[in-house]
Amino acid sequence: MLNFILRRAGIGVLVLMAVSILAFALTNAAIDPAAAIAGDSASADDIQAIRELYGFDRPLHIQFFAWAQDILSGDLGQSYRQRRPVSEVVMERLPVTMILGASAFVLALVVAIPLGILAGLRPNSWIDRLALGFAVLGQAIPNFWFALMGIVIFSVNLRMLPASGSDKWQSYVLPAIALAYYAMPTLMRLTRAGMIDTLQSDYIRTARAKGLRPPMVVLKHALRNAILPLVSVAAVQLGMMLGGSVVIETIFAMQGIGYLAWESITLSDPPVVQAIVIIIASFYVLLTLLADIINAWLDPRLRGR
Protein backbone atom coordinates (compact mmCIF):
# COMPACT_ATOMS: atom_id res chain seq x y z
CA MET A 1 0.00 0.00 0.00
CA LEU A 2 2.78 2.43 0.97
CA ASN A 3 4.57 1.53 -2.24
CA PHE A 4 1.45 2.30 -4.22
CA ILE A 5 0.98 5.68 -2.53
CA LEU A 6 4.63 6.64 -3.07
CA ARG A 7 4.48 5.71 -6.75
CA ARG A 8 1.32 7.71 -7.30
CA ALA A 9 2.70 10.67 -5.35
CA GLY A 10 5.87 10.55 -7.46
CA ILE A 11 3.86 10.77 -10.67
CA GLY A 12 1.92 13.66 -9.14
CA VAL A 13 5.13 15.59 -8.43
CA LEU A 14 6.31 15.01 -12.01
CA VAL A 15 2.98 16.24 -13.35
CA LEU A 16 3.24 19.39 -11.25
CA MET A 17 6.76 20.00 -12.56
CA ALA A 18 5.52 19.66 -16.13
CA VAL A 19 2.62 22.01 -15.42
CA SER A 20 4.91 24.64 -13.92
CA ILE A 21 7.28 24.48 -16.89
CA LEU A 22 4.29 24.99 -19.18
CA ALA A 23 2.89 27.78 -17.01
CA PHE A 24 6.27 29.51 -17.04
CA ALA A 25 6.77 29.09 -20.77
CA LEU A 26 3.22 30.22 -21.45
CA THR A 27 3.56 33.58 -19.78
CA ASN A 28 7.26 34.38 -19.92
CA ALA A 29 8.21 33.24 -23.38
CA ALA A 30 5.22 34.72 -25.14
CA ILE A 31 5.14 38.24 -23.79
CA ASP A 32 7.77 40.73 -22.65
CA PRO A 33 7.22 40.96 -18.88
CA ALA A 34 9.28 44.14 -18.61
CA ALA A 35 6.99 45.94 -21.05
CA ALA A 36 4.00 44.56 -19.15
CA ILE A 37 5.26 45.97 -15.86
CA ALA A 38 6.26 49.30 -17.34
CA GLY A 39 2.88 49.87 -18.93
CA ASP A 40 1.93 51.40 -22.26
CA SER A 41 3.44 54.83 -21.73
CA ALA A 42 6.96 53.65 -20.80
CA SER A 43 9.98 54.55 -22.87
CA ALA A 44 12.47 52.00 -24.17
CA ASP A 45 14.95 53.02 -21.46
CA ASP A 46 12.41 52.43 -18.71
CA ILE A 47 11.68 48.97 -20.06
CA GLN A 48 15.39 48.19 -20.23
CA ALA A 49 15.86 49.33 -16.64
CA ILE A 50 13.00 47.15 -15.45
CA ARG A 51 14.36 44.25 -17.47
CA GLU A 52 17.66 44.47 -15.58
CA LEU A 53 16.01 45.11 -12.22
CA TYR A 54 13.82 42.00 -12.40
CA GLY A 55 16.49 39.92 -14.15
CA PHE A 56 14.56 39.43 -17.38
CA ASP A 57 17.80 39.89 -19.34
CA ARG A 58 19.03 36.50 -18.17
CA PRO A 59 18.62 33.42 -20.38
CA LEU A 60 15.15 31.83 -20.07
CA HIS A 61 16.28 28.55 -18.55
CA ILE A 62 18.19 30.37 -15.80
CA GLN A 63 15.14 32.50 -15.12
CA PHE A 64 13.06 29.33 -14.94
CA PHE A 65 15.33 27.64 -12.41
CA ALA A 66 15.44 30.77 -10.28
CA TRP A 67 11.64 30.93 -10.45
CA ALA A 68 11.22 27.23 -9.65
CA GLN A 69 13.60 27.54 -6.71
CA ASP A 70 11.56 30.44 -5.37
CA ILE A 71 8.33 28.48 -5.73
CA LEU A 72 9.77 25.48 -3.90
CA SER A 73 10.72 27.73 -1.02
CA GLY A 74 7.20 29.13 -0.97
CA ASP A 75 7.91 32.40 -2.74
CA LEU A 76 5.50 32.86 -5.64
CA GLY A 77 7.09 36.12 -6.76
CA GLN A 78 5.79 39.68 -6.92
CA SER A 79 2.57 40.80 -8.53
CA TYR A 80 3.38 43.32 -11.27
CA ARG A 81 0.14 45.22 -10.76
CA GLN A 82 -0.39 45.13 -7.01
CA ARG A 83 3.32 45.48 -6.13
CA ARG A 84 3.15 42.93 -3.33
CA PRO A 85 3.92 39.21 -2.97
CA VAL A 86 1.78 36.94 -5.11
CA SER A 87 1.27 34.55 -2.19
CA GLU A 88 -0.32 37.37 -0.20
CA VAL A 89 -2.62 38.31 -3.09
CA VAL A 90 -3.66 34.72 -3.72
CA MET A 91 -4.10 33.75 -0.05
CA GLU A 92 -6.55 36.61 0.46
CA ARG A 93 -8.70 35.26 -2.33
CA LEU A 94 -8.40 31.53 -1.70
CA PRO A 95 -11.05 31.16 1.07
CA VAL A 96 -13.91 32.39 -1.13
CA THR A 97 -13.09 29.86 -3.86
CA MET A 98 -12.71 27.11 -1.26
CA ILE A 99 -16.08 27.80 0.34
CA LEU A 100 -17.72 28.10 -3.06
CA GLY A 101 -16.14 24.90 -4.39
CA ALA A 102 -16.88 22.91 -1.25
CA SER A 103 -20.52 23.99 -1.04
CA ALA A 104 -21.07 23.33 -4.75
CA PHE A 105 -19.47 19.91 -4.36
CA VAL A 106 -21.60 18.93 -1.37
CA LEU A 107 -24.71 20.23 -3.12
CA ALA A 108 -23.93 18.21 -6.25
CA LEU A 109 -23.41 15.01 -4.25
CA VAL A 110 -26.48 15.52 -2.06
CA VAL A 111 -28.71 15.88 -5.12
CA ALA A 112 -27.03 13.49 -7.55
CA ILE A 113 -26.44 10.42 -5.37
CA PRO A 114 -29.98 9.95 -3.98
CA LEU A 115 -31.41 10.68 -7.42
CA GLY A 116 -29.02 8.15 -8.96
CA ILE A 117 -29.98 5.53 -6.35
CA LEU A 118 -33.69 6.05 -6.94
CA ALA A 119 -33.22 5.88 -10.71
CA GLY A 120 -31.01 2.81 -10.43
CA LEU A 121 -33.44 0.95 -8.18
CA ARG A 122 -36.17 1.12 -10.78
CA PRO A 123 -34.65 1.43 -14.26
CA ASN A 124 -37.12 2.73 -16.84
CA SER A 125 -39.61 3.82 -14.21
CA TRP A 126 -41.01 7.36 -14.32
CA ILE A 127 -38.49 8.56 -11.75
CA ASP A 128 -35.63 7.10 -13.78
CA ARG A 129 -36.88 8.78 -16.95
CA LEU A 130 -37.37 12.04 -15.11
CA ALA A 131 -33.84 11.91 -13.68
CA LEU A 132 -32.30 11.05 -17.06
CA GLY A 133 -34.33 13.76 -18.73
CA PHE A 134 -33.01 16.31 -16.27
CA ALA A 135 -29.49 15.02 -16.83
CA VAL A 136 -29.76 15.39 -20.62
CA LEU A 137 -31.28 18.87 -20.38
CA GLY A 138 -28.94 19.98 -17.62
CA GLN A 139 -25.84 18.94 -19.51
CA ALA A 140 -26.82 21.17 -22.43
CA ILE A 141 -27.20 24.37 -20.39
CA PRO A 142 -23.95 26.37 -20.30
CA ASN A 143 -23.33 27.16 -16.65
CA PHE A 144 -22.59 30.85 -17.18
CA TRP A 145 -25.96 31.25 -18.86
CA PHE A 146 -27.57 29.31 -16.03
CA ALA A 147 -25.94 31.79 -13.66
CA LEU A 148 -27.18 34.77 -15.69
CA MET A 149 -30.72 33.39 -15.72
CA GLY A 150 -30.45 32.86 -11.97
CA ILE A 151 -29.60 36.55 -11.63
CA VAL A 152 -32.50 37.54 -13.90
CA ILE A 153 -35.00 35.47 -11.90
CA PHE A 154 -33.79 35.65 -8.30
CA SER A 155 -31.96 38.98 -8.19
CA VAL A 156 -33.70 41.18 -10.74
CA ASN A 157 -37.29 39.92 -10.64
CA LEU A 158 -37.72 38.41 -7.18
CA ARG A 159 -35.02 40.43 -5.40
CA MET A 160 -34.26 37.46 -3.17
CA LEU A 161 -30.53 36.98 -3.71
CA PRO A 162 -27.64 39.37 -4.40
CA ALA A 163 -26.41 39.57 -7.99
CA SER A 164 -22.78 40.08 -7.07
CA GLY A 165 -20.23 40.08 -4.28
CA SER A 166 -19.09 37.47 -1.78
CA ASP A 167 -19.55 39.15 1.60
CA LYS A 168 -22.79 37.47 2.75
CA TRP A 169 -23.77 33.80 2.80
CA GLN A 170 -26.64 34.64 0.43
CA SER A 171 -24.03 35.64 -2.15
CA TYR A 172 -22.92 32.02 -2.36
CA VAL A 173 -26.33 30.51 -3.10
CA LEU A 174 -26.60 31.24 -6.83
CA PRO A 175 -22.91 30.65 -7.69
CA ALA A 176 -22.87 27.35 -5.79
CA ILE A 177 -25.99 26.13 -7.57
CA ALA A 178 -24.59 27.21 -10.94
CA LEU A 179 -21.34 25.33 -10.28
CA ALA A 180 -23.03 22.29 -8.78
CA TYR A 181 -25.74 21.56 -11.31
CA TYR A 182 -23.17 21.12 -14.06
CA ALA A 183 -21.52 18.23 -12.22
CA MET A 184 -24.80 16.59 -11.26
CA PRO A 185 -25.65 14.73 -14.50
CA THR A 186 -22.31 12.89 -14.56
CA LEU A 187 -22.47 11.95 -10.88
CA MET A 188 -26.13 10.92 -11.18
CA ARG A 189 -25.52 8.69 -14.21
CA LEU A 190 -22.55 7.02 -12.56
CA THR A 191 -24.47 6.29 -9.36
CA ARG A 192 -27.37 4.93 -11.40
CA ALA A 193 -25.16 2.70 -13.55
CA GLY A 194 -23.27 1.45 -10.49
CA MET A 195 -26.55 0.73 -8.71
CA ILE A 196 -27.99 -1.25 -11.63
CA ASP A 197 -24.75 -3.21 -11.90
CA THR A 198 -24.41 -4.16 -8.25
CA LEU A 199 -28.08 -4.95 -7.73
CA GLN A 200 -27.70 -7.77 -10.27
CA SER A 201 -24.76 -9.35 -8.49
CA ASP A 202 -24.89 -12.62 -6.56
CA TYR A 203 -24.19 -11.26 -3.12
CA ILE A 204 -27.15 -8.91 -3.33
CA ARG A 205 -29.36 -11.87 -4.24
CA THR A 206 -27.93 -13.72 -1.25
CA ALA A 207 -28.59 -10.79 1.03
CA ARG A 208 -32.15 -10.62 -0.23
CA ALA A 209 -32.60 -14.38 0.09
CA LYS A 210 -31.44 -14.18 3.68
CA GLY A 211 -34.45 -11.98 4.21
CA LEU A 212 -32.70 -8.69 4.92
CA ARG A 213 -34.96 -5.71 4.68
CA PRO A 214 -34.70 -4.03 1.24
CA PRO A 215 -33.48 -0.63 2.51
CA MET A 216 -30.72 -2.46 4.40
CA VAL A 217 -29.69 -4.33 1.25
CA VAL A 218 -29.59 -1.16 -0.80
CA LEU A 219 -27.87 1.12 1.65
CA LYS A 220 -25.49 -1.23 3.37
CA HIS A 221 -24.60 -3.78 0.74
CA ALA A 222 -25.23 -2.33 -2.69
CA LEU A 223 -24.38 1.34 -2.23
CA ARG A 224 -20.84 0.72 -1.06
CA ASN A 225 -19.89 -1.04 -4.23
CA ALA A 226 -22.09 1.03 -6.47
CA ILE A 227 -20.34 4.29 -5.64
CA LEU A 228 -16.79 2.94 -6.01
CA PRO A 229 -16.39 4.38 -9.51
CA LEU A 230 -17.83 7.63 -8.19
CA VAL A 231 -14.83 8.37 -5.98
CA SER A 232 -12.34 9.21 -8.71
CA VAL A 233 -14.89 11.05 -10.83
CA ALA A 234 -16.04 13.08 -7.83
CA ALA A 235 -12.44 14.05 -7.12
CA VAL A 236 -11.98 15.21 -10.71
CA GLN A 237 -15.27 17.12 -10.52
CA LEU A 238 -14.18 18.92 -7.36
CA GLY A 239 -10.92 19.84 -9.06
CA MET A 240 -12.87 21.13 -12.06
CA MET A 241 -15.13 23.17 -9.79
CA LEU A 242 -12.11 24.94 -8.31
CA GLY A 243 -10.74 25.55 -11.79
CA GLY A 244 -14.07 26.15 -13.51
CA SER A 245 -15.10 28.76 -11.02
CA VAL A 246 -13.33 31.38 -13.18
CA VAL A 247 -16.46 32.07 -15.20
CA ILE A 248 -18.90 31.85 -12.30
CA GLU A 249 -16.79 33.99 -9.96
CA THR A 250 -16.37 36.60 -12.68
CA ILE A 251 -20.12 36.77 -13.34
CA PHE A 252 -20.89 37.26 -9.65
CA ALA A 253 -17.79 39.39 -8.99
CA MET A 254 -16.82 37.08 -6.14
CA GLN A 255 -13.47 37.78 -4.54
CA GLY A 256 -12.05 34.32 -5.21
CA ILE A 257 -9.00 33.16 -7.15
CA GLY A 258 -11.09 32.55 -10.29
CA TYR A 259 -12.06 36.20 -10.52
CA LEU A 260 -8.51 37.14 -9.53
CA ALA A 261 -7.22 35.01 -12.42
CA TRP A 262 -9.50 36.76 -14.89
CA GLU A 263 -8.49 40.18 -13.55
CA SER A 264 -4.80 39.26 -13.71
CA ILE A 265 -5.13 38.00 -17.28
CA THR A 266 -6.88 41.14 -18.50
CA LEU A 267 -4.39 43.36 -16.64
CA SER A 268 -1.45 41.18 -17.82
CA ASP A 269 -0.05 40.19 -14.44
CA PRO A 270 1.67 36.88 -15.33
CA PRO A 271 3.09 35.95 -11.89
CA VAL A 272 -0.42 35.81 -10.42
CA VAL A 273 -1.75 33.79 -13.36
CA GLN A 274 1.15 31.34 -13.11
CA ALA A 275 0.59 30.94 -9.39
CA ILE A 276 -3.14 30.27 -9.80
CA VAL A 277 -2.56 27.72 -12.58
CA ILE A 278 -0.08 25.91 -10.35
CA ILE A 279 -2.36 26.06 -7.30
CA ILE A 280 -5.32 24.64 -9.21
CA ALA A 281 -3.11 21.96 -10.75
CA SER A 282 -1.84 21.06 -7.27
CA PHE A 283 -5.40 20.68 -6.03
CA TYR A 284 -6.19 18.47 -8.97
CA VAL A 285 -3.12 16.30 -8.39
CA LEU A 286 -3.82 16.04 -4.65
CA LEU A 287 -7.47 15.18 -5.19
CA THR A 288 -6.76 12.47 -7.76
CA LEU A 289 -4.06 11.07 -5.49
CA LEU A 290 -6.55 11.01 -2.63
CA ALA A 291 -9.12 9.29 -4.85
CA ASP A 292 -6.53 6.69 -5.90
CA ILE A 293 -5.71 6.01 -2.27
CA ILE A 294 -9.38 5.74 -1.24
CA ASN A 295 -10.05 3.41 -4.15
CA ALA A 296 -7.05 1.22 -3.34
CA TRP A 297 -8.17 1.12 0.27
CA LEU A 298 -11.70 0.12 -0.73
CA ASP A 299 -10.57 -2.34 -3.40
CA PRO A 300 -7.22 -4.02 -2.68
CA ARG A 301 -7.02 -5.42 -6.22
CA LEU A 302 -6.13 -1.94 -7.49
CA ARG A 303 -2.96 -1.66 -5.39
CA GLY A 304 -0.84 -3.74 -7.74
CA ARG A 305 -1.33 -1.35 -10.64
**Pick 27 or 78: Cβ nearer another protein:** 27
In angstroms, give the least distance from the CB of 140 to another protein.
4
Instruction: CB nearer to another protein: give 207 or 276.
Output: 276
Measured from the CB atom, the residue of 230 and 242 that comes closer to another protein is 242
Closest CB 293 distance from another protein, rounded Å: 16
Distance of closest approach, residue 116 Cβ to another protein, in angstroms:
11
207 vs 258 by CB, closer to another protein: 258
Q: Are 89 and 272 a contacting pair, CB within 8 Å?
A: yes
Query: Nearer Cβ to another protein, position 18 or 106?
Result: 18
Shortest approach of another protein to residue 303 CB, angstroms? 18
* Closest CB 126 distance from another protein, rounded Å: 16
| DSSP-assigned beta bridge partners for residue 85 | 78
- For the CB of residue 157, give the shortest distance to another protein in the complex, in Å: 8
Taking the complex as a whole, how short is the minimal distance between the CB of residue 198 and another protein, in angstroms? Answer: 13
Please state, in angstroms and rounded to a whole number, the distance separating the CA atoms of residues 293 and 221. Answer: 21
Interface residues with another protein (CB under 8 A) are: 11, 14-16, 18-19, 22, 26-27, 30-31, 136-137, 139-142, 144-145, 148-149, 151-152, 156-157, 163, 189, 192-193, 196, 236, 240, 242-244, 246-247, 250, 261-262, 265-266, 268, 273, 276-277, 280-281, 284-285
Q: Spell out the residues 6+ positions from residue 216 whose beta carbon is closer than 8 angstroms to its own.
A: 207
**Residue 38 or 277 having the CB closest to another protein:** 277
The three-state DSSP-derived secondary structure of the chain is CHHHHHHHHHHHHHHHHHHHHHHHHHHHHCCCHHHHHHCCCCCHHHHHHHHHHHCCCCCHHHHHHHHHHHHHCCCCCECCCCCCEHHHHHHHHHHHHHHHHHHHHHHHHHHHHHHHHHHHHCCCCHHHHHHHHHHHHHHHCCHHHHHHHHHHHHHHHCCCCCCCCCCCHHHHHHHHHHHHHHHHHHHHHHHHHHHHHHHCCHHHHHHHHCCCCHHHHHHHHHHHHHCHHHHHHHHHHHHHHHHHHHHHHHHHCCCCHHHHHHHHHHCCCHHHHHHHHHHHHHHHHHHHHHHHHHHHHHCHHHHHC
Q: Are 301 and 228 in contact (CB under 8 A)?
A: no
Which of residues 145 and 203 has its CB atom nearest to another protein in the complex?
145
CB of 161 to another protein, least distance (A): 14
Q: Which is nearer to another protein, 110 or 149 (CB)?
A: 149
